[in-house]
């Protein structure tokens, strides 16, 4: 497996910037931000790096319809819909909503953007499983003479995760050009692919930079197993040496009551990032990841001279998703 099926979707490289006011407020370490919210297409976000490989693979296979799954306000689904519109592929999204779903939630935030990008949307109520529905829909499309291509939740799999192998190299190079060496990268961990790709990329180039995942769902044990499996698959696909299990670090203390459910720490993190650096985070992923980074700084988990990069994966449309936004 190689990287040669990649297509161009994102505006790369994204900036790596110092956050001096937040650094001062927290009394160190030196905090930087990797602006993958600025990848451009469809309001940006980290999934575009994955979609460059996934849609490249789909086009190489002659696919005409892309299917993927996610939550109602999925950033991955929105970026997939945007990327399909850009390259001329049909897009179908299988999205699951929660117990307190209201019809107006289908017309705001990422859902509004999905419709503007022309995606066909299939809504499922909890506890329906999205993947079997996607597989069934793919079979229906084949009967109709179409050529479907299924993308897993979050675009997280060997092919999509290649995007963050290259991002890891990009970050190390940018830091070097700034005269810096990164001691750690902090990232939200959900479907695991961004974290796994970064970890695999750093391992493959021999970097000692840590990757600290802040879980937005699940337990530390579950997420570490998921990330390790995905990172190992990427390393194997790229013919690298085996990676140690101990390199995987995930913290689950910031999940709160569950995926997509606000916490006071997340709300504080959104306000601090915005009021000190005009950095707009989202309530589901980057808000909780920043809450974790802020808490680690306050606990003295880093030396004051360390250089810690926060990976901003995007997701700002989630701020405008009805009740979720009103709690902020």
Catalytic residues: 74
Element (H, E) at 295: helix 286-298
Q: Return the SS3 of 164.
A: helix
- Paired sense of beta strands 16-18 and 30-35, if any: antiparallel
Q: What is the DSSP string of 15-59?
A: PEEE-HHHHHHHT-SEEEEEEGGG--GGG--THHHHHHHHHHHHH
Joined tokens for residue 262: 């606000």
Residue 3: φ, ψ to 5°:
-105, 15
Quick one: how far is CA 236 from the chain centroid?
22
Contact between residue 171 and residue 305 where contact means Cβ atoms under 8 Å apart: no
Collect all residues with Cβ–Cβ distance below 8 Å to 187 and sequence separation of at least 6. Answer: 194, 195, 198, 211, 212, 213, 214, 289, 310, 311, 313
Joined tokens for residue 56: 């490249």
Check residue 106 and report its DSSP letter: G
Contact between residue 183 and residue 310 where contact means Cβ atoms under 8 Å apart: no
Quick one: how far is CA 222 from the chain centroid?
17
Tell me how crowded residue 15 is: count the other CB atoms within 10 A of its CB.
Answer: 12
Q: Return the SS3 of 123.
A: strand
How far are the Cα atoms of 73, 119, 204, 309 from residue 92, in angstroms, in the given order?
15, 6, 35, 35
Question: In angstroms, rounded to a whole number, what is the distance separating the alpha carbons of residues 260 and 101?
Answer: 13
């Amino acid at each position: 497996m190689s990287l040669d099926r990649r297509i161009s979707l994102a505006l790369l490289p994204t900036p790596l910037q110092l956050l001096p006011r937040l650094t001062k407020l927290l009394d160190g370490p030196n905090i930087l931000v990797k602006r993958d919210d600025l990848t451009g297409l469809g309001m940006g976000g980290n999934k575009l790096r994955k979609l460059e490989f996934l849609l490249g693979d789909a086009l190489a296979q002659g696919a005409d319809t892309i299917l993927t799954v996610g939550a109602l306000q999925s950033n991955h689904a929105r970026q997939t819909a945007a990327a399909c519109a850009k390259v001329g592929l049909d897009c179908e999204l299988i999205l699951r909503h929660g117990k307190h779903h209201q019809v107006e939630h289908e017309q705001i935030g990422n859902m509004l953007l999905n419709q503007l990008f022309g995606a066909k949307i299939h809504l499922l109520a909890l506890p329906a499983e999205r993947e079997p529905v996607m597989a069934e829909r793919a079979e229906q499309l084949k009967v109709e003479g179409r050529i479907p291509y299924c993308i897993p939740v979050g675009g997280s799999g060997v092919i999509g995760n290649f995007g963050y192998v290259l991002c890891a190299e990009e970050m190390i190079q940018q830091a070097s050009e700034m005269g810096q060496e990164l001691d750690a990268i902090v990232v939200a961990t959900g479907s695991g692919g961004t974290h796994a790709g970064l970890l695999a990329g750093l391992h493959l180039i021999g970097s000692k930079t840590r990757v600290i995942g802040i879980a937005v769902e699940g337990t530390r044990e579950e997420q570490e197993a998921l990330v390790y499996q995905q990172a190992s698959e990427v390393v194997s696909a790229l013919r690298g040496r085996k990676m140690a299990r101990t390199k995987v670090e995930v913290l689950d203390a910031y999940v709160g009551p569950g995926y997509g459910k606000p916490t006071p720490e997340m709300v504080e993190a959104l306000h601090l990032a915005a009021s000190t650096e005009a950095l707009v985070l989202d309530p589901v992923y980057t808000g909780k990841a920043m809450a974790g980074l802020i808490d680690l700084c306050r606990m003295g988990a880093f030396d004051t001279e360390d250089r810690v990069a926060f990976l901003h994966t995007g997701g700002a449309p989630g701020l405008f998703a009805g009740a979720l936004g009103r709690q902020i």
